[in-house]
């Protein structure tokens, strides 16, 4: 059965700290799309950043609107563009697989914790938009009212990777 959740894969960053485009590392966005399909996600949209990046990705791809100048603005805009429940997935979710996606889509609003106990708002599960602080100037403020999802079994899947040294935690 197809789940009525829209996944936004966040793939518009410059990957400056990593030194290479994270959206194509370790199977990149295409791998994440396949994991979402295994979890029976109904709609998967890649937020690609600049329009010139659109050809890098398969499926439904949205460039950032011209009025958006930050990731927070892009996320704020994108979640107003769909009526479905939403799951955010960063393109550097190298450890994420369908089981972690299934866990998240079976939750209400939440922010999962990674294996270091840090909130990971780039994996936000959004069922009710009323808890979003649309005036929030950071991801943490945008989702400040969302409860934490603590799960030691899946926490490693909710890690993200910003620089080469982070890759030691990639499974």
| pLDDT digits 0-9 by tens, 25-48 | 666 889 999 999 999 998 999 999
Mean pLDDT of 124-130: 97
Contact 6, 104 (CB under 8 A): no
Q: Where are the domains of the chain?
A: 3-169
Kindly list the distances between the CA atom of residue 53 and the CA atoms of 26, 29, 69, 96, in Å, as whole numbers in the listed order.
18, 12, 16, 23
- The DSSP H or E segment spanning 148 is strand 148-149
Does the domain at residues 3-169 carry the CATH identifier 3.40.50.970?
no
Strand arrangement of the beta sheet that strand 85-90 belongs to: 60-63, 41-49, 3-10, 85-90, 125-126
CB atoms within 10 A of CB 37: 16
69 touches 9 (CB < 8 A):
no
HSE-up of residue 60 (Cα within 13 Å, Cβ side): 8
Report the chain's mean pLDDT, rounded to a whole number: 88
Give the residue-averaged pLDDT of 37-64.
94
Percent of the chain with pLDDT strictly greater than 70:
83
User: Looking at residue 12, what is its pLDDT?
Assistant: 78
pLDDT digits (tens, 9 = 90+) for 129-167: 999 999 999 999 999 999 999 999 999 999 875 544 444
Q: What are phi and psi of 6, to 5 degrees?
A: -100, 130
CB-based contacts of 150, cutoff 8 Å, min separation 6: 113
Question: Could you tell me if 49 and 64 are in contact, meaning their C-beta atoms sit under 8 angstroms apart?
Answer: yes
pLDDT for residue 3: 67
């Amino acid at each position: 059965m197809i789940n009525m959740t829209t996944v936004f894969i966040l793939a518009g960053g410059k990957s400056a700290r990593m030194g290479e485009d994270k959206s194509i590392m370790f199977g990149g966005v295409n791998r994440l799309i396949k994991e979402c399909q295994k979890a029976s996600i109904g709609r998967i949209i890649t937020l690609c950043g600049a329009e010139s990046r659109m050809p890098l990705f398969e499926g439904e791809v949205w460039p950032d609107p011209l009025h958006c100048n930050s990731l927070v603005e892009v996320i704020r805009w994108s979640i107003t563009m769909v009526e479905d429940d939403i799951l955010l997935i960063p393109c550097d979710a190298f450890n994420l697989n369908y089981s972690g996606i299934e866990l998240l889509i079976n939750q209400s609003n939440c922010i999962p914790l990674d294996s270091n106990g840090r909130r990971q708002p780039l994996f936000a599960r959004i069922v009710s938009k009323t808890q979003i602080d649309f005036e929030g100037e950071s991801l943490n403020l945008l989702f400040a009212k969302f409860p934490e999802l603590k799960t030691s079994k899946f926490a490693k899947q909710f890690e993200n990777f910003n620089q080469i040294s982070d890759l030691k935690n990639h499974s």
